[in-house]
Structures are given as C-alpha cells and as structure tokens.
Amino acid sequence: MSDELASPDMSLALDAPQNIPLVSEWLLGTSALLMQHQGATDTAELIADVTSLEVRLWNTQFDEEGYRVALVVEPRLYPRYDEAALKSIGSAMRLVLEPAGKDVDEIHVRPEIPRLAAGWREQVKTANGPKPSNQARKVRLEPRHPVEDQLHFTNQCELELYQVLKKRQAALPDNETIGIMPLGGMRVRRRVLEPDFLITYRGRVAVIELDGPHHRDRASADHSRDRQLRHAGVAFVERLNVEEVNTLHEVEKFVDDFLAQLKR
C-alpha cells in the first residue's frame, strides 16, 4: 500500500467541498518538500510547524484563481511568523500552485484557539503560578491531560512510557540514575522543539519520540527535527510507534534496548 497522500482535484477550486479535506496537508507538505529540495530549510521547517491552513477563493481573472491563505499555528509559535516568514512561505506555495493556474493573493497567520474547559481559570493560574516551568507548555492549556509527579503528559501512552522509565530508574543505584524529562522545551537553531522524552544517562543524552498515525504524513519534518536534535548534542533519537505496541512487555523491551544503547 502506498503512503502517498491524496491530492486535491486541481480542475476545481481549492475550497471546493471535495478538496477541503485534502488541500491543507497537501499544500503544506508539497511546499515544505519543495523548499527542502531547494535548500531553503528554514522555510521548510516553518511550513512543517504549521498545524493547518485554510484557503478561500478570493478572485478569478485572466484564467487564474487567486486565494487567501490563513496559516493556523500553535500560540507559542505565532511570533515566528512575521512578515518575512509569510513572504517566503507564500512564495513557496505560489511555486506549487502556479502549474494549475492558481495563485496566493494574500497570506496571513492566526494562532490556534485552545479548547476551553470548565476549570480554565485554574489551568491559567497553575501555568503562571509561583513555580515557573517550561515543561509541557502546550499541554498545560489542554483539558484532562495526564499528570504524575507534577509532570504533564500529552496522552496515556506517554504516561505509560514514563512509568516504565521510572521503574527502570528506581532499580538503579543513586550513582547510576537516569534523568527523565518529558515534554521539555528546547531552543535549537531558529526554533523551539519539545521532545516527548529527553533522557540522560552516564553522561549521554538521547530522545524518545512516540509516533502515532499523524507521523506518517510528517516524515520529512520528523527527520529535520531529529537532525537538529543531533546537531544540538543529542546522541540519538529512538521512535516508538504506538500503533505497533500492544503490550506492556513490548514497551519494557523498547526501554531496555534504549537504555542499553544509551550507556554504550
């Protein structure tokens, strides 16, 4: 079975009902890959960090369709999308759309609106309370996420992996302990990353990423993130595909193999 994403019907408008489910990931992905192949890695990474986009037909003249494009990004990333960034992203998208007689007339950015929970006041006060932390900045604003040892997790899979890591930590002597940092913000070149788990052990640092179904569509962005982590001193990045793990034993085996590799 091919992993190739379905493409919009370019004989129709991009905001036609049958194109709407396809156009966001297709236009983001093709634009990012085109920039990566041309060596414009900064623009490619900006595009890869866009959560989604919205397109709306704006005008039609001289047999060319002009669109308004809205990029939707995480609130913490919003400041990165300044006028220069939008100009470079818009140029990339125009190159992709030009063969089909389509153009980007306007491009702008807006932050993704967080989901509202009943206890939003407590969430805000906790996140901005007397104990500042860069841990799980985005997750803290989402309702009903798992918490253990005052650490926040995106989902139950992350929590279960943390619990296995904690068991392995408890079995080690104090002078050989491992450090476990879930969802810690890390500034690298021109961007901030948030690895699922940063693990320290015997003077070495490595990262564990949990991959779900959405990672199949963002393989290029994942490779770019892994490369930047290695450039920042991370020894290696291991990925655990949650779709292929069915038992606790499999998670424990993954952790044991990971720690064995880390202490070499």
Residues 30 and 152 in one domain: no
Residue 12 phi/psi, 5° resolution?
-110, 170
- The residues, any chain, with a CB within 8 Å of residue 128's CB and separated by 6 or more, are none
Q: Is residue 116 part of a domain?
A: no
pLDDT in the model for residue 134: 56
Average pLDDT over residues 189-213: 88
- The residues, any chain, with a CB within 8 Å of residue 195's CB and separated by 6 or more, are 183, 184, 186, 207, 208, 209, 229, 237
Q: Within a 10 A sphere around the Cβ of 28, how many other Cβ atoms?
A: 25
Q: Is residue 93 part of a domain?
A: yes
* 8 A C-beta contact, residue 204 and residue 226: no
* 8 A C-beta contact, residue 171 and residue 200: no
pLDDT in the model for residue 214: 54
Q: Is residue 11 part of a domain?
A: no
CA distance linking residue 245 with residue 264, whole number of Å: 25
Residues 97 and 125 in one domain: no
| Backbone region of residue 116 per phi and psi (left: phi > 0; alpha: psi in -120 to 50; beta: other values) | beta
Task: Supply 261's token pair.
Answer: 């590799």
Instruction: Please report, in angstroms and rounded to a whole number, the separation of the first and last CA atoms in the chain.
Output: 37
Residues 233 and 144 in one domain: yes
Residues 207 and 241 in one domain: yes
Residue 100 belongs to domain with CATH number: 3.30.300.20
Residue 179 belongs to domain with CATH number: 3.40.1350
Closest by CA position to 55, among listed 96, 99, 5, 83: 96
Percentage of the chain modeled with pLDDT above 70: 86
pLDDT in the model for residue 243: 82
Residues 79 and 135 in one domain: no
Reported as a single tens digit per residue, the pLDDT across 115-169 is 777 777 776 666 555 444 556 666 665 667 888 988 889 889 999 999 999 999 9
Q: Is the pTM of this model over 0.75?
A: no
Q: Is residue 7 part of a domain?
A: no
Angle among Cα 218, 224, 230 to the nearest 5 degrees reads 135
Q: What residues make up the domain containing 69?
A: 20-111
